[in-house]
Amino acid sequence: MNKNYLIAGNWKMYKNAEQSREFIQDLERSFTSVAAMTVVVFPPFVALAGLRALSKKINIGAQNMFYEEQGAFTGEISPLMLQGLVDYVLIGHSERREIFKERDEDVNRKIKAALQFNLVPVVCIGETLQEREAGKTMVKIKNQLEKALQGVDKEKMGRIIVAYEPIWAIGTGLNASPEQAQEVHHFIKEIWQEMGAERNLQILYGGSVKPENSFELLAQDDISGVLVGGASLKVEQFSAIIHSCIQLLDK
Three-state SS for 86?
strand
Closer to ligand PGA by Cβ: residue 225 or 229: 229
Q: Which helix (H) or strand (E) holds 151?
A: none
- 227 contacts ligand PGA (rule: CB under 6 A): yes
Q: Catalytic site residue 165?
A: yes
DSSP code, position 83? B
Q: Contacts with ligand PGA in 126-185 (CB under 6 A)?
A: 165, 170-171
- 64 contacts ligand PGA (rule: CB under 6 A): no
Rule CB under 6 A: choose which of 79, 121, 206, 211 binds ligand PGA. 206
DSSP code, position 102? -
CB of 208 to ligand PGA, least distance (A): 4
CB of 144 to ligand PGA, least distance (A): 15
CA distances, 104 to each of 52, 78, 239 (Å): 30, 18, 33
Rule CB under 6 A: choose which of 230, 238, 239, 240 binds ligand PGA. 230
Q: Are the beta carbons of 152 and 175 closer than 8 angstroms?
A: no
The C-alpha atoms of residue 234 and residue 12 are separated, in whole angstroms, by: 13
Non-local CB neighbours of 99 within 8 Å, separated by 6+ positions: none
Of the listed 93, 95, 131, 185, which one is catalytic?
93
The catalytic site residues sit at: 93, 165
**Which residues bind to ligand PGA, rule: CB under 6 A?**
10, 165, 170-171, 206-209, 227-231
